Structure 1
Amino acid sequence: MKDKLKDFVTENRMDFDIYKEDYGALWDKIESGLDTNKKRRRFGLSTTYFKVAASVVLVLCIGFLYLKLKYSSTGFDQEVRLEQISSELAEADLYYGSLINEKIQLIQASKEDIDPDIFNDLNLLDEAYNELKEDLKDNADNEEVVSAMIQNYRIKLKLLETILEEIKENEEEKKNEQINI
């Protein structure tokens, strides 16, 4: 199959060439419209204004970064670092956090159905812990807040241990049932 458009253009070539232009004269008109000696500005403002504005923005950015680094290292940042408050609290956080994570992994690894309310209770304990952490920022009665945080960890750990004991008892009952059958 031949291309119909190509055939049409080839057949009617003479009809398309009715206008003859002198390309040399057209180019001369274009060149005469160009003024090669005239300098044109790209922007309405001079480049010195742009240089000044860029340097002001640079100084502001450097100042902002300096202040951010200065205050974040002294504890004025949003997140409280437990190491800054008490090394003992940081150690307790690490200790209880690892125990709790270990217990949660054991619970998740078991094939027992766990009541979803228990996980809601764990989430409430997490929310309470985060509130205590926010209270710690205010430095109001640090000892009381720290002991409340540790108590929160103990409650959470006790809850997880109770869940694991129940899972273990259920597994033993299932084994005994299978042995008796």
Structure 2
Amino acid sequence: MPENFESFIQQHRDAFEEPGPSPKVWDALERELEGSRKGRIVSMMGRNWFKAAVIAVLLVNAAVLFYIAKHKQHQQQDLAVVIPEIQEAKVYYTNRINEKLELINAYPANELGLDSAARQELQLRNDTYKTLENELKNNPGNQRIRGAMIRYYQLKLELLDKILEELQDKHATPPTHTKKQYEAEI
């Protein structure tokens, strides 16, 4: 049987070796495959454009948040440099202003002649102070804002000194009674 099989193969060798499909068939097949690849990608993008847009928006948001975080960190570093200068002035002026306010508050309210709005403005932490403090936090390196903060303290002290001076002129001697003692006497 093996001899028969070998002789059969040798006799029909040409029939076994056919050339295969023509080059036209291969070209048509390649064109069809390339066309389907492009169409598939375009059709996938057509169906998933919303997902692509969401991913793009998330990437932009992440970049913006990163920038904001870096900017905040930079501002906090600037505040760390500025705060020692301002902190020292703040402690000094705050102590002086609080002393003057205590002396003024020792007088009875009817002798002061100030309404509630004026008394609110005399307090250290009024709207002007809060605005300056926020501006200083937002622009720690700005010399004008730091100067304005110091000037605010100085003007507040001058105003309190003038009020105390007028109160002392009205009353020959400074009050020895505190506000609570006046209320107790009344």
Shorter-chain TM range is 0.3 to 0.5
Q: Which has the higher contact order (CA 8 A, sep 6+)?
A: 2
* TM-score normalized by the length of structure 1: 0.46
Q: Which structure dedicates a bigger proportion of its chain to helix?
A: 2
* TM-score normalized by the length of structure 2: 0.45
Larger Rg: 2
